[in-house]
Amino acid sequence: MNLDDTIVAIATPPGRGGIGVVRLAGPEARKIALPMLSMKHDLDPGRAIFGELAEPGAGDPQRIDEVVVTYFAKPHSYTTDDIIEISAHGSPVVLRHVVELALARGARLAEPGEFTMRAFLNGRIDLTQAEAVRDLIDSQTLYQAKVAAQQLDGALSRRLQPIKQELVKLIATLEAGVDFAEDDVSVLPADQILHHIAALRLPLDQLASTFAYGKLVHEGLTLAIVGRPNVGKSSLFNCLVERERAIVTAAPGTTRDLVSETVAIGGIPVKLVDTAGIRRALDEAESIGIRKSHEALADADLVLVVVDASQATVPEDAELLQQVAGRPAIVVHNKCDLVPSHEGTGVRTSALTGAGIPELRQEILRHVGGDHGAQAEAGFLTNLRHQNLVQESLVGLSAAASAVGKRIPHEMLLLDLYNALRPLDEITGATTTDDILNLIFSTFCIGK
């Protein structure tokens, strides 16, 4: 990828809108943009200037649109290049025309994520921050956006930095002992080396343990609502969605197909799946629906088993509870408004009155780990690539500790320590391959 040319792209989503932005970045950004603009004031860095977009050519330029132009001078810009952003009315025809004018004057159409890749390659952000840009754009909940903003601010990098520094210090000490053994430079005894390795493992283990929660924050989870007919599954589904999404009638077996909706619970995207009542099917359509219910139950990350609190437990309820034994599941005793009290485990709710719904949300959140430390913790793992690299580093440290115990020469021990350091460098992008970079940035939108 050539970092010396000037790139252009539409930076706003496809379609029509009140405003649309075309972004140019590179050494020729001003030279390319100025002939298509008519402005009463010169471009000043960091200032928005009102002007007109005009068709360049002989004679009086023909006005196309009113625009606001912002100039970010290098190195004080997103990519550290000169950047021109032209904000026009959000007509796809106008925005495409601006791009075509820029291309005609020597710009190149940006690749997906190329603006952010330039910011990374030019040293303005590290790789974790670049990935956080994508996560911020893809956020479905406000909490996801806040987590991505923390990562964009360098939270994960700051958490890794002291670990890397201590590991480099240990490597340097052992290297000195190997290089200057004849000069009586003291080499750390085995117990001290093991102490240093253990001190490095502890924060890395803690970081690795955050991935279970971080993955849920990043990807969300699927929650299946199951139970026999007429226990109030669809009514409960509507309460959690907070609108009449599923059809509810007094007749058992109304739901014949899966109905799904994604909601935010504690900032985590939760895909709710309302299923057909599980019983002996009365016809082929219901049979297909019940089969899909069993599939949804098998695929779900968390299951709500709904039972009728106003009735005694029946064999179908016991069979369902047996199916979810050993899996993350919550037993919901619905229709609690019909009975004064209830003994046993689970959450009591009334989809009719709304009683118990806040408690059910809290129980769901407790099951996904959102009611304790990880939620408030800065710099936790949300990315599978990062998790795999942290695990690689831990493997390297374990191998190093094993080498110390076996009295293996320090030259070989150092190989294990370097194997622990290399994955940490790959997380932030201090060392990484072009293939990994291309894979990461290919998932970005073109204008970012």
Residues 162-193 pLDDT 10s = 999 999 999 988 887 776 655 555 578 889 99
The confidence score (pLDDT) of residue 373 equals 44
| Residue 442 structure tokens | 């290919």
Q: Which helix (H) or strand (E) holds 260?
A: strand 259-265
How many CB atoms are located within 10 Å of the residue 257 CB? 12
**DSSP calls for 70-90:** EEE-TTSSSSSS-EEEEEEEE
CATH 3.40.1190.20 fits 142-210+379-429, yes or no: no
Higher pLDDT, 345 or 215: 215
Domain ranges of the chain: 7-115, 142-210+379-429, 223-373
For residues 200-221, average pLDDT: 91
Q: Does residue 196 register a pLDDT over 60?
A: yes
The average pLDDT across 107-128 equals 93
Q: Residue 54 CB: number of other CB atoms within 10 A?
A: 18
Among candidate residues 54, 71, 72, the one with its CA nearest the CA of residue 63 = 54
Dump pLDDT digits (tens) for 88-105.
Answer: 999 999 999 999 999 999
Model pTM score? 0.81
Q: What is the pLDDT of residue 372?
A: 45
Q: Rounded to whole angstroms, how far apart are CA atoms 319 and 227?
A: 10
Provide CB contacts within 8 A for 281, sequence distance 6+: 287, 289, 290
Rg of the Cα atoms in the chain: 29
pLDDT at 91: 94
Q: Tell me the pLDDT tens digit for each residue of 309-327.
A: 888 878 888 888 888 888 8
| Residue 238 vs residues 34, 242, 366: alpha-carbon distances, Å | 55, 6, 21
pLDDT value at 59 more than 70: no
User: What's 7-115's CATH class?
Assistant: alpha beta
Question: Once rounded to an integer, what is the mean pLDDT over residues 205-219?
Answer: 90
**Who has greater pLDDT, 433 or 46?**
46
Residue 95 region by backbone torsions, left for phi larger than 0, else alpha for psi between -120 and 50, else beta: alpha
Dump pLDDT digits (tens) for 355-404: 889 999 999 888 876 544 444 567 889 999 999 999 999 999 999 999 99
Average pLDDT, the chain: 86
Q: Which residue has the higher pLDDT, 285 or 135?
A: 135
CA-based nearest residue to 327, from 300, 295, 346: 300
Read off the DSSP letter of residue 374: G
**Domain 223-373 is in which class?**
alpha beta
